[in-house]
């Protein structure tokens, strides 16, 4: 079927034509239109050359033998070094937490404290969220141990919120220095690699109102309640972040975290 070839061909249609995404019945129209528009035909031809150049340059990477470091069995062996890492990091966190706590003890009522805390949580998020093999000190499949350890070190009940309903699974957690003492830092991940973190620490103020803070592609929601402040950090999608933070909030009210 020949549709009216005088219907102008759009930019999108030209790309779809080159990428084989154009409905079959429109192909001959586009070809006829291109025959009458040499400048556009030349542009489409340049896209084809671009594709050839890309394949010429990069197909070799797919034909190389796969290096041993990408062997699946080798990658599967899980490093067990986290035990030592956890001990060392908690000592450091204790030392730093102690010192900073003392320096900051007079400033606990400052209104910017929560904001500084959110900044710290954002930094921690950015630091650890890119880690693939060592994102946490204690992995999520040792949740009971993780909660016990963080509870003891943070001096409050730490329970990892259940975020499975939003597609997020607990990766694990670590201890971090907070402004007035140790902070718990929990990481969650979706199957597509999207990561959220929950940072919580004892703090001498209450601020039930959620505050939003964004830096580039990372954003955080923070609040403080019953002497504990929470910062939930994730991507810049505000709706998604709010959904996750809401879930953390609802559970922290009941269980701590």
Partner 1 sequence: MSAFRQSVEAMIPALRRYARALTRDVDAADDLVQDTLVRALRSERLFLGGDLRSWLYTILTNLNKNRRRSLARRPLFMPLQDDNPDASGTEAESRDIERALATLVEEQRAVLLLVVLEGMSYREVAEIQGVPIGTVMSRLARARAHVRAVIEGQRPALRSVK
Q: Which residues bind partner 1 (CB under 8 A)?
A: 11-12, 15-16, 19, 21, 43, 46-47, 50-51, 53-59, 61-64, 66-67, 69-70, 72, 75-76, 126, 129-130, 132-133, 169, 191-194, 216-218
Q: How far is the CB of 103 from partner 1 (least distance, A)?
A: 25
Q: How far is the CB of 199 from partner 1 (least distance, A)?
A: 18
Contact 159, 250 (CB under 8 A): no
Q: How far is the CB of 195 from partner 1 (least distance, A)?
A: 8
The smaller minimum CB distance to partner 1, of residues 46 and 116, is found at: 46
**Helix ranges, 64-188 (H):** 72-76, 82-104, 113-129, 143-154
The smaller minimum CB distance to partner 1, of residues 26 and 104, is found at: 26
Q: How far is the CB of 225 from partner 1 (least distance, A)?
A: 30
What does the block give as tokens for 245?
Answer: 């933070």
The smaller minimum CB distance to partner 1, of residues 64 and 209, is found at: 64
Contact 30, 17 (CB under 8 A): yes
The smaller minimum CB distance to partner 1, of residues 90 and 190, is found at: 190
Q: How far is the CB of 119 from partner 1 (least distance, A)?
A: 14
**Sign of dihedral through CA atoms 51, 52, 55, 57?**
negative
The smaller minimum CB distance to partner 1, of residues 169 and 238, is found at: 169
Start-to-end Cα distance in the chain: 65
Contact 121, 203 (CB under 8 A): no
Other C-beta atoms closer than 10 Å to the C-beta of 222 total: 25
DSSP code of residue 14: H
């Amino acid at each position: 079927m020949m549709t009216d070839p005088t219907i102008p061909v759009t930019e999108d249609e030209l790309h779809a034509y080159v990428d084989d995404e154009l409905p079959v019945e429109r192909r001959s129209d586009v070809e006829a239109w291109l025959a009458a528009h040499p400048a556009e035909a030349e542009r489409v031809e340049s896209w084809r050359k671009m594709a050839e150049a890309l394949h010429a340059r990069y197909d070799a990477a797919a034909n190389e033998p796969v290096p041993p470091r990408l062997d699946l069995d080798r990658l599967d062996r899980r490093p067990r070094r986290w035990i030592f890492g956890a001990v060392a990091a908690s000592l450091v966190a204790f030392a730093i937490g102690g010192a900073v706590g003392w320096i900051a003890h007079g400033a606990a009522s400052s209104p910017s404290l929560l904001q500084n805390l959110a900044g710290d949580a954002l930094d921690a998020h950015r630091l650890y969220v890119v880690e693939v093999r060592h994102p946490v000190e204690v992995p999520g499949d040792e949740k009971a141990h993780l909660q016990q350890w963080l509870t003891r070190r943070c001096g409050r009940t730490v329970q990892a919120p259940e975020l499975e309903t939003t597609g997020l699974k607990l990766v694990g957690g670590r201890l971090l220095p907070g402004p007035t003492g140790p902070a718990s830092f929990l990481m969650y991940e979706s199957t597509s690699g999207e990561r959220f973190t929950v940072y919580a620490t004892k703090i001498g103020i209450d601020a039930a109102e959620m505050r939003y803070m964004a830096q580039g592609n990372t954003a955080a929601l923070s609040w403080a309640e019953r002497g504990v402040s929470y910062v939930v950090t994730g991507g810049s999608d505000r709706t998604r972040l709010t959904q996750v933070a809401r879930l953390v909030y609802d559970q922290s009210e009941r269980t701590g975290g």
